[in-house]
Structure 1
Amino acid sequence: MSVTLFIITILAAYLLGSIPSSVWYGIGYFGIDVRKHGSGNAGATNTFRVLGKRAGTIVMLIDVIKGWTATCMASMLFYMGTIGETELLMYKILFGIIAIVGHIFPVFVKFKGGKGIATLLGMVLAIHPELALLSITIFILTLLASQYVSLSSILATLSFPVLSWIGVFGHPEPLLIVFGFVMFVLVVLTHQKNIVRLMNGNENRVKLFGKSKAIRH
């Protein structure tokens, strides 16, 4: 791959990740900046909390698509003959990570974004759908049991490299395992405040059932 094409694809992955869906959707449809309410985080979870389930679902899906699209750029390069099969996984991981970095540090809103969980989900769906679906199942079960999104996110992220390591879907792929544990560390770092609140017993719970009320201006 030429240096020019490499720079263009890296920039494209970052800009995709940088799309501040929660901020733009909240301001565009509700006249509300989610960063000024709830936890102050520009992510899907705070959108659920501030604007309701419908808005939160839309934002989450957009963030998933961001990660999936950026990661799939590697497949596009492969089918174009720009990269080889042995390089495919490496570039998928690279583009996905760049998209997550873009989500956490988005250029469009002064580099203050969300925590990247939904974008990470889109990334792993593009890399290994089966492992991703198992991780989603762990997320859902943990959320149903605890009502903590942060705890569910951390355990689901950890499950990805662990399941890969033990070879649930065939021979373990070292690069995938290393990637998974690096992402787990990143998720822990971006959830430090949540972990402290979990340990202190005052982390926010989510209401899974019943009507959610959005803030209105």
Structure 2
Amino acid sequence: MAIVTVFLLVIVAYLLGSIPTGYLLGKSLAGIDIREHGSGSTGATNVLRTIGKKSAIAVLLIDMLKGAIAVLLVKLIYAYSPIELLPTSWQLWLIVTVALVAILGHSKSVWLGFTGGKSVATSLGVLFVMNPLLALGTLGAFGITIAVSRIVSLSSIVGAISLNLLAIFVDGSLPYIIFAALAGGYVIFRHRSNIQRLLAGEEPKIGQTAK
């Protein structure tokens, strides 16, 4: 029963993460494939540049919610299941696994030929359920950087780096430290083309068009 439950939670997490919010809103509101515009990402930043602020906010919130629900399901099973479906010792590791799968699903959506966004919003969503302090600290680092630089990609990278420090000094649990390393590293990896543009001084700021 435990293995079946884990399998179902992982599948649900991936499918939740895979919901192509930016693509669906692009199609329904603007009649476009968002992947053919701007940076080609389905995330909120490209939606902002391509469709507009309201759509970008909707994508951001829904993409966060996808990750939050995936992790929340694990916590609800442990808190309210009338029978012991899962060993208590698995909880943190299962939360981390489900969170990582949801993040992967966002950037490698089965509905979009395994393409997608940069996984920033979904990462933030899982963090708010995993540990709100980690989420707020990461969001704070992102907010300070974007206020100074006006560059979303740089702010996302700084947030990913900050998450690793916060996981060590604020949370301290091994599963969450490993999560921070993997999720933060993956977000940075997803921004590798942005890093090249940052180094070349060509990364657009908010309000500018991606090259």
Gaps of 5+ in 2: none
For residues 148 and 194 of structure 1, the distance between their equivalents in structure 2, rounded to whole angstroms, comes to 10
TM-aligned CA deviation for residue 5 of structure 1:
2.4
- Tell me the secondary structure at the aligned position of residue 203 of structure 1: coil
For residues 181 and 12 of structure 2, the distance between their equivalents in structure 1, rounded to whole angstroms, comes to 25
TM-aligned CA deviation for residue 46 of structure 1:
0.3
For residues 5 and 176 of structure 1, the distance between their equivalents in structure 2, rounded to whole angstroms, comes to 21
Greater shift, 153-162 or 61-70, is seen at 153-162
Match for residue 27 of structure 2?
Answer: 27
- Aligned residues, how many? 206
Alpha-carbon displacement from aligned partner over 1:50-107 (angstroms, at most 9, x marks no partner): 0111100000100000000011121122121322443221111111111111111111
1:166-181 matches, within 5 Å, as 166=169, 168=170, 172-181=172-181
Greater shift, 139-148 or 155-164, is seen at 155-164
For residues 69 and 99 of structure 2, the distance between their equivalents in structure 1, rounded to whole angstroms, comes to 9
Greater shift, 26-35 or 147-156, is seen at 26-35
TM-aligned CA deviation for residue 44 of structure 1:
1.2
The ranges of structure 1 where at least 4 consecutive aligned residues each deviate by more than 3 angstroms after the TM superposition are: none
The aligned amino acid for 1:63 is D
2:126 aligns with one of 123, 127, 144: 123
TM-aligned CA deviation for residue 109 of structure 1:
1.4
Match for residue 139 of structure 2?
Answer: 136
Tell me if the contact between 1:73 and 1:95 (Cα under 8 Å) persists in the aligned partners: no
The aligned amino acid for 2:11 is L
The aligned amino acid for 1:192 is R
Match for residue 196 of structure 2?
Answer: 196
Match for residue 4 of structure 1?
Answer: 4
Say yes or no: does 1:91 pair with 2:94.
Answer: yes
- Tell me the secondary structure at the aligned position of residue 202 of structure 2: coil
Match for residue 17 of structure 2?
Answer: 17
Cα 1:61–1:89 shift into 2, 3 Å: same
1:67-82 matches, within 5 Å, as 67-79=67-79, 80=81, 81-82=84-85
Tell me if the contact between 1:150 and 1:191 (Cα under 8 Å) persists in the aligned partners: yes
2:164 aligns with one of 150, 161, 164: 161
Match for residue 107 of structure 1?
Answer: 110
TM-score, normalised to structure 1, is: 0.90
TM-score, normalised to structure 2, is: 0.92
For residues 51 and 189 of structure 2, the distance between their equivalents in structure 1, rounded to whole angstroms, comes to 26
Tell me if the contact between 2:100 and 2:179 (Cα under 8 Å) persists in the aligned partners: no
Tell me if the contact between 2:107 and 2:115 (Cα under 8 Å) persists in the aligned partners: yes
Match for residue 185 of structure 1?
Answer: 185
1:39-78 matches, within 5 Å, as 39-78=39-78
For residues 167 and 189 of structure 2, the distance between their equivalents in structure 1, rounded to whole angstroms, comes to 22
Tell me if the contact between 1:139 and 1:153 (Cα under 8 Å) persists in the aligned partners: yes
Tell me if the contact between 1:105 and 1:111 (Cα under 8 Å) persists in the aligned partners: yes
Tell me if the contact between 1:73 and 1:92 (Cα under 8 Å) persists in the aligned partners: no
For residues 65 and 184 of structure 1, the distance between their equivalents in structure 2, rounded to whole angstroms, comes to 19
The aligned amino acid for 1:96 is A
Gaps of 5+ in 1: 213-217
Q: Percent identity?
A: 35
Say yes or no: does 1:151 pair with 2:145.
Answer: no
For residues 134 and 4 of structure 1, the distance between their equivalents in structure 2, rounded to whole angstroms, comes to 35
